[in-house]
Structure 1
Amino acid sequence: MGTQTLVARVIGAVLTAIGLVGFFSGSSLLGFGINALHNIVHLVSGLLGLWASYSGWSRSYNQIFGIVYLVVTVLGFIASGFMNSLLNTNMADHFLHLVLGVVLGYVGFMVREPAKA
């Protein structure tokens, strides 16, 4: 399994699990703000990551969601009132989204897989 696939699969599995657990956790999960819409966003992005990791679209997923999570980070920092009210985000969420965006973006755009024999 290549790096692209591994990253998409791990991130996809974690986001899917967080989305599911979030429905049973109230408004906070390990200090991160959540609500039903936020859980749905985690589920959708997680399931897409899992799908991508099994269908050969891992690199595209990593690139697209790297950009998406970086945009979400910027929105979280400059429009935190809107993001907080819509998705119940907090500063911990914004920094986690930054880490996700950097990791996914770096892997998606910078990591080259060796050619298959």
Structure 2
Amino acid sequence: MSAHTHQMTRTPLQTAAFVLGIIFLVVGVLGFVPGITTGYGAMKFAGHTSGAHLFGLFQVSVLHNLVHLAYGVAGLAMARTWEGARKYLVWGGVIYLLLWIYGLIVTGPHAANFVPLNTADNWLHFLLGIIMIGLGVAFSRRGAPRRPFAT
């Protein structure tokens, strides 16, 4: 009697989404670690007045960290399928490009400035948007993998 084992293999597209999901989870957790996040005591839930900086560089808040955690969970969940991974990378990248534009336009004490963003955040969001869209497009050029016929 032989046991059937189902080995799940990830496509490069799914692997990219999975790895980015892990990275976002790690960044979200690190945003709550004093020392790695400087000015931890000055962290606000939201808003431009949060004085916390991840790695002393990227301005963060509780909301900002929670968004990173949510992006990470979404990446892991969507990496389970080829189509989900593609959507995560492409549309996630579009969202990051929109966040980059938001960060360029909405600065200082403005009612719409609920996510603390500084110049480093803005340019990281731009790079993430380009990278995510690039990975999503490059790894999906051949289309979804076809399942082999059962024999």
State whether TM-score is above 0.5: yes
Paired with 2:135 and 2:125, the residues of 1 have a C-alpha distance of 15
Query: Which residue matches 2:3?
Result: none
Choose 1 or 2 for highest CA Rg: 2
The CA deviation string for residues 19-42 of structure 1, in whole angstroms up to 9 with x for no partner, is 111112321111111110000110
Which runs of no fewer than 5 residues in structure 1 stay unpaired? none
Query: Which residue matches 2:130?
Result: 102
Q: Secondary structure at the residue paired with 2:117? A: coil
RMSD: 2.1
How many residue pairs end up in the alignment?
117
Query: Which residue matches 1:67?
Result: 94
TM-score (norm. length: structure 2):
0.69
Paired with 1:74 and 1:3, the residues of 2 have a C-alpha distance of 29
Do the aligned partners of 1:73 and 1:97 also contact (CA within 8 Å) in 2?
yes
> Where does 1:80-99 land on structure 2 (aligned, <5 Å)?
80-81=107-108, 82=110, 85-99=113-127
Give the 3 Å change call, closer, same or farther, for CA 33–83 of structure 1 in structure 2. farther
Of structures 1 and 2, the one scoring higher in RCO (CA 8 A, sep 6+) is 1
Paired with 1:35 and 1:70, the residues of 2 have a C-alpha distance of 20
Structure 1 or 2: more helix by fraction:
1
TM-score (norm. length: structure 1):
0.87
The CA deviation string for residues 38-57 of structure 1, in whole angstroms up to 9 with x for no partner, is 00110001110111112441
Runs of 4+ in 1 over 3 A off after TM superposition: 82-85, 113-117
Which runs of no fewer than 5 residues in structure 2 stay unpaired? 1-9, 41-51
Paired with 1:75 and 1:83, the residues of 2 have a C-alpha distance of 13
Aligned-residue sequence identity (percent) comes to 29
Query: Which residue matches 1:13?
Result: 22
